Amino acid sequence: MSAAAHDDPPVEKLSFEEAMQELERVVGQLEAGDVALEDSIRLYERGARLKAHCEARLKAAEEKVAAITLDESGQPKGAEPVDLT
């Protein structure tokens, strides 16, 4: 497979775990330094999209966790609605 495969799945469709795995692969290829310049640019751009996707997924998860409410004994009792817009 080439360094910048054009059949890579769209970043938005990847789970957090899939995106992290691919980001690690991209970083590994870039660090190896044996990729042609044009492929390096495409890899870097995909890596930037993967990083942003992972950060967005983490932020959404953090907001969901922060919305969990606790009862008087400290036990989770539900969640408050979170506006993610």
Q: Which residue has the higher pLDDT, 22 or 80?
A: 22
| Chain position carrying tokens 């690690």 | 24
DSSP 35: S
Kindly report the pTM of this predicted structure: 0.72
DSSP 13: G
Look up the CATH architecture of domain 11-79. Answer: Orthogonal Bundle (1.10)
- The mean-pLDDT minimum among 15-19, 48-52, 79-83 falls in 79-83
pLDDT in tens, 18-58: 999 999 999 999 999 999 999 999 999 999 999 999 999 99
